[in-house]
Amino acid sequence: MIVEFGHFALLLALAVALVQMVLPALGARTGDANLMRVGEPAALAQLWLLTTAFAALTYAYVTSDFSVENVWANSHTDKPLIYRISGVWGNHEGSMLLWVLILAVFGAAVAIFGANLPWTLRANVLAVQAAIAVAFLVFIVFASNPFTRIPLQPEGRGLNPILQDPALAIHPPLLYAGYVGLSMAFSFAVAALIEGRIDAAWARWVRPWTLAAWIFLTLGIAMGSWWAYYELGWGGWWFWDPVENASFMPWLAATALLHSAVVMEKREALKVWTILLAILAFSLSLIGTFLVRSGVLTSVHAFAVDPRRGVFILMILVVLIGGALALYARRAPYLRQGGLFAPISREGALVLNNVLLTVGCGTVFVGTLYPLALESITGDKISVGPPYFNSTFAPLMVPLLLALPLGPMLAWKRGDVPGALQRLLTAAVLSLLALVVTAALARRGPWLAPFAVALGVWVAAGAVCEWASRIKLFSASVEEALRRAANLPRSAYGGMLAHAGVGVMVIGIAATSAWQSEVVLTMKPGERAEIAGYELTFRDVSPRRGPNYQEQVGLLTVSQGGSAVTELHPSKRTYDAPRQTTSEAGIHAALSGDLYAVLGDEVAGSDGAWVIRLYFNPLVRLIWIGAIIMSLGGLLSLSDRRLRIGAPRRARRRPEAATVPAE
């Protein structure tokens, strides 16, 4: 009954979305305020209806209602409650429902906080949001319906065990919040094109939404990487897997968009480009969503399994992306161009950032989709792996990181590179020092690695130098510096923090990629192994029973220089349903590096010997710490008054506040 109620709410949401797509846009065209006013209540109604539908599906999962096909196919009565709930979005149909629910949340946010947007712009934005919702709701109702009933089954088939993990329970919602958040930039871009008018206020409106989406994406991707690291037992943190690339491409585009929106807001330049980026960023989100969930990545032939779904997906992509780009082609030439600037200037640096990020995104796109294209054209099956990305994407990031600390030091309109370099002298010295020290310490690994570490130090230290130079830390009195530090806007702190996070992450990536140690060996109880200065003793393997799995838990004691450090418990789990084995790595985490142990198979015919794989991943934590610092920077920037969602104008009082002495 509740399930039918949810199904009904879903259908009703589609009807409401249709109304919201048509009437406000019509009103904006004819200047009819009553029609435009339909947008807000419709957006709120959508939110309530979709919340109801989502709650109904969650209810079916929690109560294990196996007369619902989706629940039967993806759940099991043995599962702990949290995984019964996360099972709702651990599959294609449920995740699509989550997607539209988040879309409705963003739509409702425009309705609630958009009171001071120009009327017609708000109406058009809500109409475009509704158009996206219509496309997805039609897809869900007709090709991916999670409420489909089947004859009651005694037991469900269970959720894929590797998805039964806390990080993966929250990873999809975070990622989706990021994907869908970019729909705001898209809707604003399309609405601006419909109106044929765009100004700095537009950028001020779009930035907070993009920033919020970017924070979610950053955290979501980092969470996915962290999960892959400890759950898959491969000792790596990023595999250039198409599923990872699908989330990385929108992130790159969103990062570029954030930066070009700054130029547009501050200098009214790059308008046409910013609009295009907004469209592209969301298009990549759409492609990412479908790539991951449609099964097309496994093979283009997955489309053939359910052709209706494939056709629907292609139609949505063609209509939304193609429509927006067509509108762009028609209207963009008429947008008024703004501010002039010299190539060497803050704007110029941001253009460089945009060019490198979008071209980098393009190389990832080619590497991800080339196998699909080749297979559907020639039938040849190929795999494009890390070597491709390391030799295309990575080289493009080098100039980006080199230029990164310089950009914020350049003045708007016309910059001065020698002057900027002078203020970055400390960072340059530190970076050189890092190069010399790492090159001296590293007795193995690629010769490029110390340069990569130095690059990371350059970026991180550059952010600190920027702060020091902005508050005149050493050139003015301490009071003056403190006063300046207090008056620096939060968005400035946010930017510097995010850049520092990039630097920290680059150091982690360089160190762990170049100097990871790995040992694979068979160990009998009592035997010892050594890795990266740690001494490990294999004790035993004992069976243990979990809530819905049986596991073999290994015990390794770790000591360093004769004193005990910790114990590692790598395990092998065999789940009851579906009957599948997963490895749980035993990890000793430290800032200097992770000790990482994976339990292999028992060696047949030997008494108690097991295959064990050990890794030492130096500085690997810096990768996720860097991502968290970046997100914190984003959050700090988002909390800036000027950018706060709903604040239409720059806070007028700021110039006066700045003149009030700190005392």
The binding site for another protein (CB under 8 A) comprises: 160, 162, 232, 234, 295, 298-299, 301-302, 305, 340-343, 348, 351-352, 355-356, 359-360, 362-363, 366-367, 370-371, 380-385, 387-388, 391-392, 395-396, 520-522, 572, 578-583, 598, 600-601, 603-604, 611, 613
- CA distances 150 to 70, 85, 95, 142, 262, Å, are 9, 21, 20, 16, 53
What's the rounded Cα separation, in Å, for the pair 364 and 370?
A: 10
Nearest to another protein of 20, 95 (CB atom): 95
The nearest distance, CB 160 to another protein, in angstroms, is: 5
Nearest to another protein of 524, 654 (CB atom): 524
What b/e readout covers 462-491, taking b as 16+ CB neighbours within 10 angstroms? bbbbbbbbbbebeeeeeeebebbbeeebbb
Nearest to another protein of 377, 486 (CB atom): 377
HSE of 400 in the Cβ direction (CA atoms, 13 Å)? 24
Nearest to another protein of 146, 633 (CB atom): 146
Q: Which residues contact 597 (CB under 8 A, 6 or more apart)?
A: 536, 554, 556, 568, 570, 585, 586, 587, 612, 613, 614, 615
Q: Provide the 3-class DSSP secondary structure of residue 613.
A: strand
What DSSP line would sit under 180-226, residue for residue?
A: HHHHHHHHHHHHHHHHT---HHHHHHHHHHHHHHHHHHHHHHHHHHH
Task: Name the strand (E) or helix (H) holding 617.
Answer: strand 610-618
The nearest distance, CB 556 to another protein, in angstroms, is: 16
Nearest to another protein of 363, 566 (CB atom): 363
Give the CA angle between residues 334, 339, 342 to the nearest 5°.
Answer: 125
The nearest distance, CB 293 to another protein, in angstroms, is: 11
Nearest to another protein of 20, 144 (CB atom): 144
Q: Please report, as a single letter, which amino acid is at residue 102.
A: I
The nearest distance, CB 245 to another protein, in angstroms, is: 14
Rg (CA), the chain: 27
Task: Name the strand (E) or helix (H) holding 285.
Answer: helix 271-294
Nearest to another protein of 300, 632 (CB atom): 300
What DSSP line would sit under 309-373, residue for residue?
A: HHHHHHHHHIIIIIHHHHHHHHHGGGSPP-----SSSHHHHHHHHHHHHHHHHHHHHHHHHHHHH
Nearest to another protein of 377, 604 (CB atom): 604
Task: Name the strand (E) or helix (H) holding 587.
Answer: strand 586-588
The nearest distance, CB 148 to another protein, in angstroms, is: 17
Nearest to another protein of 156, 181 (CB atom): 156
The nearest distance, CB 436 to another protein, in angstroms, is: 29
The nearest distance, CB 162 to another protein, in angstroms, is: 6
Q: Provide the 3-class DSSP secondary structure of residue 260.
A: helix
Nearest to another protein of 120, 353 (CB atom): 353
Closest among 443, 437, 571, 575 to 156, alpha carbons compared: 575
Phi-psi bin for 521: left (phi > 0), alpha (psi -120 to 50), beta?
Answer: beta
Q: Quick check: bond before 154 cis, omega within 30?
A: no
Nearest to another protein of 403, 645 (CB atom): 403
The nearest distance, CB 368 to another protein, in angstroms, is: 12
CB 97 within 8 A of CB 52: no
| Cα 41 to chain centroid, rounded | 31
Give the CA angle between residues 573, 577, 580 to the nearest 5°.
Answer: 40
The nearest distance, CB 304 to another protein, in angstroms, is: 10
Task: Name the strand (E) or helix (H) holding 12.
Answer: helix 2-30
The nearest distance, CB 12 to another protein, in angstroms, is: 31
Fill in the DSSP letter of residue 475. Answer: T
The nearest distance, CB 382 to another protein, in angstroms, is: 5
Q: Provide the 3-class DSSP secondary structure of residue 134.
A: helix
Nearest to another protein of 298, 639 (CB atom): 298
The nearest distance, CB 228 to another protein, in angstroms, is: 10
Nearest to another protein of 236, 445 (CB atom): 236
The nearest distance, CB 578 to another protein, in angstroms, is: 5
Query: Strand 593-602 relative to strand 586-588: parallel, antiparallel, unpaired?
Result: antiparallel
The nearest distance, CB 265 to another protein, in angstroms, is: 19
With 0-12 CB in 10 A as exposed, 13-18 as middle and 19+ as buried, what is 369? Answer: middle
Nearest to another protein of 46, 353 (CB atom): 353
